[in-house]
Structure 1
Amino acid sequence: MSIDWLNFSPTAALAGGLSIGVACTLLLLGIGRIAGISGILSGLLDPAGRDFGWKLSFIAGLVIAPTLLKSFVPAAGVIGAPAASSLDFLAGGLLAGLGARLANGCTSGHGICGLARFSRRSLVAVALFMATAMAVTYVRRHVLGPA
């Protein structure tokens, strides 16, 4: 099942994009840090490391915010059943993690923060992320067929 495009809301999408942009900007201007999830998450592996507090707060906010939203707006985020199997999600997560490691940053760090800073390295990374995603989607849906 795919996203129900009849219920797509450009207003909600714009509000979400603006929220992410403002949060990234505030983090950069406030403490001079990039909102790349892979870097923030990897920083949690060393609790004695510097910046542990804000990194833990950031990740906690990513988990808590949608939970709170769902409690106040029960229909928020409901788009139907996932269009992939658990194995597909696992493989995708592992490959995304490997790609983030190879690219020295994840899609959020390069795509949101890096492109906004006109980073050439981020431009190359995002182009590779997108090309890979398109190729995998094509192969998965049109060559291998439905799961």
Structure 2
Amino acid sequence: MFEAFPYAQPLHGLAGGILIGLAAAMMLLGAGRIAGVSGITARALKIGSGDMSMTSAWSFLVGLPIGAAIVALAGGWQPVQFASWPVLVIAGLLVGFGTRLGSGCTSGHGVCGVSRFSQRSIVATITFIGAGVATVFILNLIGGMQ
């Protein structure tokens, strides 16, 4: 799909960013809740606290892969698996641990927290972006990224 329109890829990213921002704004303005996926997952699993009902939390979580599937089907996108299932499960558990340790995930801090000028979220966002940059830099030095 992108090969035929090489200049469309940034526009798709822009459109996706706008939709994420709109969804976060609608959830904050409509429900009074932050659209951080780790917090919503915790509420769905009754790990966290909050006034968002489990039904709303589960609806949000179920809608994430359904929305992705609709976009994939509409655009003819084919999924690519980068790692084995055990590696993906371990990575998911590590991400879950990190979100609990950091009091939120990238969507909660980066999209919702920074837009509200939350100092904690700004520091968290700088930290995980910096860690990502450092990881890529180190992997490039040792030849891990080709």
Range of TM-score over shorter length: 0.7 to 0.9
Question: Aligned residue for 2:54?
Answer: 52
CA displacement, residues 72-93 of structure 1 (integer Å, 9 cap, x when unaligned): x2424x5x845x5336645543
Residue 97 of structure 1 pairs with residue 99 of structure 2: no
- Paired residue type of 1:85: A
1:1-147 equivalent positions in 2, closer than 5 A: 6=6, 9-46=9-46, 51-71=53-73, 73-76=74-77, 78=78, 81=80, 84-86=82-84, 89-90=88-89, 92-143=91-142, 145=144
Distance in 2 (CA, whole Å) between partners of 1:57 and 1:129 is: 28
Distance 1:97 1:139, change over 3 A: farther
C-alpha distance in 2 between matches for 1:91 and 1:137: 20
Deviates more, 1:104-113 or 1:37-46: 37-46
Q: Deviations over 1:62-110 (max 9, x none)?
A: 0111212333x2424x5x845x533664554333222211110000000
TM-score, normalised by the number of residues in structure 2: 0.79
Structure 1-normalised TM-score?
0.78
The alignment of Structure 1 onto Structure 2 pairs a total of residues equal to 140
Give, in whole Å, the separation in 1 of the partners of 2:10 and 2:127.
Answer: 27
- 1:145: how far off? 2.4
The percent identity for this pair of structures is 37
CA pair 118-100 structure 1, distance change in 2 beyond 3 A? same
Q: Distance in 2 between matches of 1:7 and 1:89?
A: 31
> Which residues of structure 2 form unaligned runs of 5+?
none
Partner secondary structure for residue 9 of structure 1? helix
| Distance across 1 between alignment mates of 2:140 and 2:127 | 20
Give RMSD over aligned pairs.
2.9
Unaligned runs of 5+ in 1: none
| Higher RCO (C-alpha under 8 Å, 6+ residues apart) | 1
